[in-house]
Amino acid sequence: MRNTLAFIGTGIMGAPMAGHLLDAGFPLLVHTRTRSRADDLIRRGARWADSPAVAAAAAGVIFICVPDTPDVQAVVLGPRGILASARPGQIVVDHSTISPAATREMARRLAEKQAFLLDAPVSGGDVGARNAALSIMVGGDRAAFDQARPILEHLGRAILYCGPSGAGQLTKLVNQVLVSVTNLAVCEALTFAKKTGLDLQTTLAAVSAGAANSWQLANLAPKMIARDFTPGFMIDLMQKDLRLLMAAANESGVCLPASSLVHHLFTSAQAAGLGKSGTQALYTVIQRLAAEE
């Protein structure tokens, strides 16, 4: 039983992650809201569990990968949730990006049963999930982390212990500040370049060599120029993360002027029907402000 794992939430991220655990030879229980989304894993040897509680009853380590805070709360605290069958020494690893405060509260509830919650949000997207190349930012009990680490190494390339409960979520939010504000920098730079008549490819080549460079510039600027707005990371998901950021910043008394700005500008993208587009579609919002296109 120690070796048996459970995976709750087998969506775009969760399914390939659960698949890596199967490939590594772990007995695996799965549960997800829409059962058909677990079919492939079950064909590959996973067993279906009727609820998170059933999955947890038979597993030493339970992984969660669901969309948002209320979803994780339902999986952990709900009537047929993990907490109902939690036992001493059990480890719950939550890969969802959710509220750090809600994370700490659930960790406290599980600790009452001597079980551990590790918050372990990831970056790297569905490509990273499929290639087991995720960055995993982990908060929670250090000994529980050390125990879970060998399993996490089947899912990601960089497994980082960030600190006590919530620290993984907070680190993910730091990541999203950088990603989204740098993206806005690229949108403003290209809009200014286009409206003032510069050739965009030449400009990109000119500024990519030095202090202006970033992952966002290198990866998203070419897509903006090509008007390719297919999602690497969807605006709706970024907005969820930025809402978590705004709440956490509020609670901690941190004023984040550029992050709030980009959050509101993404709202404009959503209003224009671009919520399912990639974050690089923020470019169209800045262009519209300049009466371009």
Rule CB under 8 A: say whether 253 interacts with its own copies: yes
Q: How far is the CB of 17 from its own copies (least distance, A)?
A: 17
End-to-end CA distance of the chain: 60
Q: How far is the CB of 82 from its own copies (least distance, A)?
A: 26
Q: What binding mask, one character per residue, do residues 261-280 give for its own copies by CB under 8 A, x or -? A: xx--x---------------
Rule CB under 8 A: say whether 258 interacts with its own copies: yes
Q: Which of 79, 210, 273, 293 binds its own copies (CB under 8 A)?
A: 210
Binding to its own copies in span 24-63, by CB under 8 A: none
Rule CB under 8 A: say whether 135 interacts with its own copies: yes
Q: Which of 90, 97, 165, 203 binds its own copies (CB under 8 A)?
A: 203
Q: Which one-letter amino acid corresponds to residue 51?
A: S
Q: Kindly state the helix (H) or strand (E) to which residue 18 belongs, with its residue range.
A: helix 14-23
| Distance, CA of 142 to CA of 171 (rounded, Å) | 16
Instruction: Tell the burial category of 245 from Cβ atoms under 10 Å away from its Cβ (0-12, 13-18, 19+).
Output: buried
Rule CB under 8 A: say whether 173 interacts with its own copies: yes
**SS3 assignment, position 149:** helix
Rule CB under 8 A: say whether 126 interacts with its own copies: no
Q: Which of 18, 54, 66, 186 binds its own copies (CB under 8 A)?
A: 186
Of the candidates 212, 155, 165, which has an alpha carbon nearest to the alpha carbon of residue 189?
Answer: 212
Rama region for 45: left / alpha / beta (φ>0; ψ in -120 to 50; rest): left
Stretch that binds its own copies, among 49-57, 70-78, 81-89, 192-200 (CB under 8 A): 192-200
Closer to its own copies by CB, 51 or 123: give it.
Answer: 123
Q: How far is the CB of 116 from its own copies (least distance, A)?
A: 20
| Distance, CA of 288 to CA of 61 (rounded, Å) | 49
Backbone angles phi, psi at 46, to 5 degrees: -75, 155
| Distance, CA of 55 to CA of 175 (rounded, Å) | 32
Binding to its own copies in span 139-168, by CB under 8 A: 158, 160-163, 167
On the CB side of 83, CA atoms within 13 Å amount to 17
**Which residue pairs from 195-202 have beta carbons closer than 8 angstroms and sit at least 24 positions apart in sequence?**
195/290, 195/292, 200/225, 201/225
Please say if 240 is a catalytic residue: no
Q: Which of 2, 43, 112, 211 binds its own copies (CB under 8 A)?
A: 211
Of the candidates 172, 194, 240, 276, the residue annotated as catalytic is 172
Q: Which of 24, 74, 111, 178 binds its own copies (CB under 8 A)?
A: 178
Binding to its own copies in span 230-249, by CB under 8 A: 233, 245, 248-249
Q: Which of 2, 34, 79, 257 binds its own copies (CB under 8 A)?
A: 257
Q: Which residues are annotated as catalytic?
A: 172
